């Protein structure tokens, strides 16, 4: 536990310069976009006279050169002031935090689907590499991995919403349904089936391949041969010696892919009309709201850092060389 705590502290500290660089990148983007925060704010409240504009610029630290402006921007970020959204006419922080839970739910479910189904089918393939079952599943995985998520989403809508009428084609829950408690949770779950599948199946295919290739490699390793020589066979050998070690690269990939998955949620949320962070990014671009887009980017960076932190901790628990494990 002490070691986990130290790891946590070191990683959090190491993330600070990265976050700082992301913020500086965001500042450069703001500088490149036409107009500044005062222009945006005045456009929102319907304009103001020259004296008022100058006073606002001085107050927000926007009247100096690039360096004082950068300092003012970073200072504001430290106070959790992400600026003003012109599209929503509200503070950026309030808008992005409101949309965050839906995206986290979508991402969490998609990760769960990808990880469980991907490693399960990967074990089925990797238990006997080269078998007909392995070839068929691997081929299917390659095909799924080549699919754009948004297109898969549309195909699923055509199949399950339009033709079969089993599942809703958009939204996060039934509007004004008056549902509460478990009924509402079930309603949200029904709405999430198709978007989660569209986002998660691509990663399922990726994890399947990783798991399968890892296991195929591990069968040739000495410790597996030794276990076999000791008479170990069947599920015990496959699961405890081979699959457990093949799971490590999958877990590593999980962290690396969290940023890509957030990016994928931009399109998936747009397809399924889910009011989340991703669709907010698309709206921000369409409505030329740079501060809002930056807010989404910064919050995404924080989410990615936290997910990777969680993955590091999980890794420490899983790796037989770190834990009290039996493998290795």
32, 45, 164, 176: residue in contact with another protein (rule CB under 8 A)? 32
Question: Nearest 10 degrees: CA dihedral of 80, 84, 89, 93?
Answer: -20
Using rule CB under 8 A, residue 108 touches another protein: no
Q: How far is CA 304 from CA 5, 109, 115, 141, in A?
A: 19, 16, 17, 26
Using rule CB under 8 A, residue 301 touches another protein: yes
Using rule CB under 8 A, residue 270 touches another protein: yes
Which residues does 162 contact at the CB level (< 8 Å), separation at least 6?
A: 169
Q: How far is the CB of 201 from another protein (least distance, A)?
A: 13
Q: Which helix (H) or strand (E) holds 314?
A: helix 290-318
Q: How far is the CB of 157 from another protein (least distance, A)?
A: 7
70, 242, 281, 311: residue in contact with another protein (rule CB under 8 A)? 281
290, 291, 295, 311: residue in contact with another protein (rule CB under 8 A)? 290
Q: How far is the CB of 15 from another protein (least distance, A)?
A: 8
Of the candidates 116, 141, 138, the one whose C-alpha atom is nearest the C-alpha of residue 126 is: 138
In the shown chain, the binding pattern of residues 139 to 158 toward another protein, with x for contact by CB under 8 A and - for none, equals: ---xx-xxxxxxx--xx-xx
Can you tell me the distance from the alpha carbon of 259 to that of 275, in angstroms, rounded to the nearest whole number? 19
Q: Which is nearer to another protein, 73 or 237 (CB)?
A: 73
In the block, tokens 């100096």 appear at 64
Can you tell me the distance from the alpha carbon of 182 to that of 274, in angstroms, rounded to the nearest whole number? 20
User: Tokens for 110?
Assistant: 């998609």
Q: How many residues bind another protein (CB under 8 A)?
A: 46
5, 17, 47, 132: residue in contact with another protein (rule CB under 8 A)? 17
Q: Which is nearer to another protein, 38 or 157 (CB)?
A: 157
Piece in contact with another protein (CB under 8 A), picked from 20-28, 128-136, 220-228, 320-328: 20-28
Q: Tell me the backbone φ, ψ of residue 89, rounded to 5 degrees.
A: 55, 45
Q: Which is nearer to another protein, 105 or 243 (CB)?
A: 105
Largest CA distance in the chain: 87
Q: Which is nearer to another protein, 99 or 244 (CB)?
A: 99
Can you tell me the distance from the alpha carbon of 160 to that of 167, in angstroms, rounded to the nearest whole number? 6
- Helix/strand/coil for 175: coil
Handedness of CA 300, 301, 302, 304 (dihedral sign): positive
Piece in contact with another protein (CB under 8 A), picked from 28-36, 87-95, 122-130, 320-328: 28-36
For another protein, the binding residues (CB under 8 A) are 17-19, 21-22, 25, 29, 32-33, 142-143, 145-151, 154-155, 157-158, 162, 259-260, 262-264, 266-267, 270, 281-282, 284-286, 288, 290, 293-294, 296-297, 300-301, 304-305
């Amino acid at each position: 536990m002490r070691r986990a705590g130290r790891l946590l502290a070191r990683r959090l500290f190491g993330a600070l310069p990265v976050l700082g660089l992301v913020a500086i990148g965001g500042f450069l983007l703001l500088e490149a976009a036409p107009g500044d925060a005062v222009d945006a704010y005045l456009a929102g409240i319907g304009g103001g006279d020259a004296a008022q504009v100058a006073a606002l610029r001085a107050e927000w630290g926007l009247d100096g050169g690039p360096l004082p402006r950068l300092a003012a921007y970073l200072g504001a970020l430290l106070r959790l002031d992400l600026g003003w959204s012109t599209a929503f006419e509200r503070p950026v922080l309030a808008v992005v935090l409101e949309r965050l839970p839906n995206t986290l739910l979508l991402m969490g479910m998609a990760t769960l689907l990808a990880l469980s189904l991907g490693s399960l089918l990967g074990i089925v393939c990797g238990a006997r590499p080269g078998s007909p079952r392995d070839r068929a599943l691997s081929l299917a995985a390659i095909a799924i991995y080549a699919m754009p998520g948004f297109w898969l989403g549309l195909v699923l809508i055509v199949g399950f919403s339009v033709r079969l009428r089993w599942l809703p084609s958009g939204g996060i829950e039934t509007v004004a349904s008056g549902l509460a408690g478990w009924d509402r949770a079930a309603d949200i779950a029904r709405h999430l089936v198709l978007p989660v599948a569209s986002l998660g199946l691509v990663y399922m295919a990726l994890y399947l391949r990783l798991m399968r290739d890892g296991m195929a490699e591990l069968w040739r390793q000495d410790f597996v041969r030794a276990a076999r020589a000791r008479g170990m066979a069947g599920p015990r050998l496959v699961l405890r010696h081979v699959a457990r070690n093949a799971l490590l690269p999958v877990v590593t990939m999980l962290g690396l892919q969290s940023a890509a998955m957030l990016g994928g949620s931009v399109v998936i949320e747009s397809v399924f009309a889910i009011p989340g962070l991703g669709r907010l990014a698309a709206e921000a671009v369409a409505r030329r709201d740079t501060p809002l887009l930056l807010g989404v980017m910064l919050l995404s960076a924080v989410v990615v850092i936290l997910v990777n932190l969680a993955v590091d901790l999980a890794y420490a628990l899983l790796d037989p060389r770190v834990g009290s494990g039996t493998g290795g």
